[in-house]
């Protein structure tokens, strides 16, 4: 049963910190939502991926320049619970590209730390997810195409991880109920199964890019929240 109205679930995720001793620690502030006969939408961070960090290498005087982090590239399939390469074999290895930093506004020798968020709604429902840019003191954060949300198609169509390059993705399907743990590029086809733990859920990886708008003093700390909005369609 689909709702006749759209309800938002908002997750406030974390603080950007630049300069000496940088870290990007995330915290959640979940707001209750009532959605009639269907379950409330919930969103929370996955254990082991609860911070979004650009590390200690942001260069605050690189005005007009950017530092980008990889997230979709290199994350293990077992973290998004999705068969990205459609080989029916669970890949549990996070590659060296995951969290990799590139750009002239950061030192790229150490990787950043992307975040993984799990979203739960009604089984087989669709949601819209929005991650607005964050305009902070001297910088702008945007999620870019290295942030994505797994779209479970629930049939013969191949599942994909839809990028947040334009801040909003629509028509994101939660997984159907499946009989057994397994993997597969297509959901609910004979002999091919998704993870049973994903029934009624999907996951997203949040990475992105920061652009320096005005000089940020070395060693300064900047704390702002990233907002993740999830809306039933």
pTM (two decimals): 0.83
Residues of the chain with pLDDT under 70: 1-39, 179, 190-193, 223
Cα maximum dimension of the chain: 58
Residue pLDDT, tens place only, 194-223: 788 888 999 999 999 999 999 888 777 776
215-232 tens-digit pLDDT? 888 777 776 788 888 888
Give the per-residue pLDDT at 191: 65
d(CA 165, CA 92): 26
- Measure the CA–CA gap between 99 and 94, rounded to whole angstroms: 10
Supply the pLDDT for residue 205: 95
Q: What gap in Å lies between CA 192 and CA 50, rounded to an integer?
A: 30
CA 23/CA 54 separation, integer angstroms:
7
């Amino acid at each position: 049963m689909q709702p006749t109205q759209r309800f938002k679930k908002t997750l406030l995720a974390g603080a950007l910190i630049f300069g000496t001793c940088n870290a990007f620690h995330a915290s959640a502030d979940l707001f209750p939502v009532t959605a009639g006969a269907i379950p409330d939408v919930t969103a929370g961070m996955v254990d082991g991926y609860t911070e979004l960090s650009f590390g200690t290498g942001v260069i605050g005087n690189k005005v007009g320049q950017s530092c980008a982090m990889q997230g979709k590239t290199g994350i293990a399939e077992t973290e998004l619970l999705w068969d990205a390469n459609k080989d029916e074999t669970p890949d549990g290895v996070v590659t060296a590209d995951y969290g990799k930093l590139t750009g002239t506004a950061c030192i790229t020798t150490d990787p950043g730390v992307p975040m993984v968020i799990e979203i739960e709604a009604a089984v087989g429902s669709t949601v819209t997810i929005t991650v607005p840019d964050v305009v902070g003191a001297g910088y702008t954060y945007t999620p870019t195409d290295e942030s994505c949300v797994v779209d479970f198609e629930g049939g013969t169509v191949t599942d994909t991880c839809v990028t947040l390059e334009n801040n909003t993705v629509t028509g994101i399907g939660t997984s159907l109920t499946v009989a057994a743990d397994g993997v597969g590029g297509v959901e609910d086809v004979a002999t091919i199964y998704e993870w049973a733990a994903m029934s009624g859920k999907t996951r997203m990886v949040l990475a992105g890019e920061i652009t320096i708008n005005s000089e940020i003093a070395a060693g300064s700390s900047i704390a702002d929240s990233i907002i993740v909005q999830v809306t039933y369609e």
